[in-house]
Amino acid sequence: MAIAPARKPTTRVLFLVAPGEQPMFTRMNLPPFGTGIVTASLRDAGCDVDLHDLNSDLWRMWRAGEFTKADLRPFYDERAVLDYVGGARNDFLDSFADRLLAGKDIEAAQVVGISAGGDFSFLEMQSAVVIGAHLKRHYGKPIVLGGNNLDYLMQFHDAFHSWWTAVITHFDAAVTGPGEDVFVDLVGKLARERTQLPMARPAPSPGVARLLGDTVLRAPDAAHRILAPDFDGLRLDDYHNFVRDRPTASPRKQEADEMWNRMQLYQFPAYLSWLANETNAQQAGQGVSGRLVMPYVFNYNCPYNCAFCTESLERVKLVHATVDDIVEDMAGLAGKYQTPYFYLFNNYFNLVNGFVEEFASRVILNGVQLHWSDCARFNSLTYERLALMAESGCRKLTFGLETASTKMLKIIDKRVKLAEAERVLGWCKEVGIWADLEIITGLPHEDEDTFAETTDFLERNAANINYFNVNRYFVAPKSLMGAKPEAYGMTLRKFPDAYQRLLDANYRWLAEDLEFSYKPQNFRVYEFDEIDGRSAEQLADVIVPKIAKLNAIQSTDFSDAWRVLSMRQDRAGRTPARFNNETMSMA
């Protein structure tokens, strides 16, 4: 008689996404990418992952009228949350966590992973630790925290020192940087031997934050791996984008529907796309149906060093999947989740020589039906390459121009040639790819002349620019400018109470029931004075007119469409922040 081989026991992981504010403002439209990657890695390693996005639970509680935005005040109270993590009683936080976790099989889990999200959302960061503390207190489970927001909190760890101290003291591990391999390692160790918490070990584990005395230490990041995200187990209907879908209509009508869908998913700026989604959702079943948009990434670690960017400080080896693997992943995700729509979040698409031709020809030859958008750089794009990209499904490219002042471009080491940028924008228009730009205003020593070069460029190329995002400069500590501010003509100002001030600003946004786009600029933790120039206060005074000037150049097509749709939804009084040139800060 043959003896069946002994089955390797699997580790049961409860993996949770902590909720943020978005479900209280607008429908979710994208499944959580980072969580999907870590889930794929854990399942590949043989773990049994029970995956839940608590945003879905918050959304249901919100729609059922179980709480108001103002009720959430305790989540925006530094001391209340950190005391609760430390063991203090707080009936509101405890019962709110209990309601979010209703119906989850907590007892079966050997380890709990919690993603603190990646949207610079304070509700995500605060609710992650509240849920972790609740699970430790009532169920005694080992807790591993992760998510892109931890990277943000670690960059500004001096401002969030109390948060880090509580997390490192009371949880089993907090992961910064890529989590796909670190989680597998931690889950295995925590399920086997719970003798010593990883964060208490003397030797650093890659990617796991530590305390040395009173100092918060970031361990060296683990390396990224390219994986297709795994969203199985999530309530996928909750991320539906509602688009036109009339399979029995004439080919001409179906073609027109597809053009509308591309506009909604790719051409519209986020504020309009969200509103169109809300409007369409009310007509679900009447020629409208829900489709997922898949997030996917196939390259990490940019070779450029734009001085404001978090990619600029350390030289990390490029990670890039092969064309075969990328096309296989995208075709696999499209089939599994029944959607041709993708949002790619690469550093930029055309990063490797020859990649554009190989990718596009493989997609076209294999007959894979895709629609996708991504970031791109102007250099190396030709008319022929853009035409191939359009044929392979590229609908929109977002270019980081940042500024059109040659002097400022040189200072930030952007390596963009303006003549080349103008040519590429024209070609995008010709081949049918919408071209968006990222613009930064408020860089140190940006004066009237350098700012005017940017506005001139935008006006001159308006016909070829679909939309541009206006970003107010903020100092990222993990950038060249953040690491050496004096070299860029800045002296940093740090606020001792930045954490609570940011929490207060975020709570005001909720309690005053402002529109979603009024979300405070949570990454502006530091202000700066210009060396031999203007003070932070003087810079704050000039930023609003600059933003107003930029917004005035923007095409009015989208704002007109927003007004029509919002009147239909009876929401005309609540306008997006950009209509009022607002920049919410913690001040």
Contact set with ligand SF4 (CB under 6 A): 302, 304-306, 309, 311-312, 347-348, 377, 400
Residue 299 near residue 317, CB atoms below 8 Å = no
Residue 396 near residue 436, CB atoms below 8 Å = yes
Cα–Cα distance, 396 to 492 (Å, whole number): 37
Q: Which phi and psi angles does 406 have, rounded to 5°?
A: -60, -35
Cα–Cα distance, 439 to 435 (Å, whole number): 13
Cβ proximity to ligand SF4, 302 vs 470, nearer residue: 302
Cβ proximity to ligand SF4, 304 vs 383, nearer residue: 304
Cβ proximity to ligand SF4, 135 vs 309, nearer residue: 309
How many C-beta atoms lie closer than 10 Å to residue 238's C-beta? Answer: 18
Q: Which of 54, 68, 182 is nearest to 116 (CA)?
A: 54
To ligand SF4, the closest distance from the beta carbon of 375 in angstroms equals 7
Cβ proximity to ligand SF4, 112 vs 309, nearer residue: 309
Cβ proximity to ligand SF4, 54 vs 309, nearer residue: 309
To ligand SF4, the closest distance from the beta carbon of 78 in angstroms equals 31
Structure tokens at 441: 């205003």
Q: In this structure, are strands 490-493 and 527-530 parallel, antiparallel, or unpaired?
A: antiparallel
Cβ proximity to ligand SF4, 22 vs 403, nearer residue: 403
To ligand SF4, the closest distance from the beta carbon of 123 in angstroms equals 27
To ligand SF4, the closest distance from the beta carbon of 396 in angstroms equals 16
Q: Which of 118, 23, 34 is nearest to 67 (CA)?
A: 23
Residue 33 near residue 345, CB atoms below 8 Å = yes
Structure tokens at 138: 């009532």
Cβ proximity to ligand SF4, 347 vs 506, nearer residue: 347
Cα–Cα distance, 429 to 17 (Å, whole number): 39
Cα–Cα distance, 251 to 13 (Å, whole number): 47
Cβ proximity to ligand SF4, 303 vs 332, nearer residue: 303
**DSSP 8-state class, residue 315:** -
> Which contiguous run of DSSP H or E holds residue 438?
strand 434-441
Q: Which phi and psi angles does 67 have, rounded to 5°?
A: -155, 165
In angstroms, the Cα distances linking 325 to 26, 96, 328, 361 are 34, 43, 5, 14
To ligand SF4, the closest distance from the beta carbon of 402 in angstroms equals 8
Cβ proximity to ligand SF4, 311 vs 527, nearer residue: 311
> Which contiguous run of DSSP H or E holds residue 488?
none
Q: In this structure, are strands 299-300 and 319-320 parallel, antiparallel, or unpaired?
A: antiparallel
Cβ proximity to ligand SF4, 347 vs 554, nearer residue: 347
Structure tokens at 36: 């999907």
To ligand SF4, the closest distance from the beta carbon of 347 in angstroms equals 4
The CA angle 402-406-411, to the nearest 5 degrees, is 70
Q: Helix, strand or coil for residue 18?
A: coil
DSSP annotation string for 251-269:
HHHHHHHHHHHHIIIIIS-
Cβ proximity to ligand SF4, 314 vs 560, nearer residue: 314
Q: Which phi and psi angles does 254 have, rounded to 5°?
A: -65, -35
Cβ proximity to ligand SF4, 440 vs 490, nearer residue: 440
Structure tokens at 24: 């209280």
Which value, to the nearest 10 degrees, does the dihedral of the CA atoms of residues 299, 362, 232, 41 take?
-40
Residue 530 near residue 444, CB atoms below 8 Å = yes
Cβ proximity to ligand SF4, 230 vs 311, nearer residue: 311
Cα–Cα distance, 532 to 541 (Å, whole number): 18
> Which contiguous run of DSSP H or E holds residue 22?
none
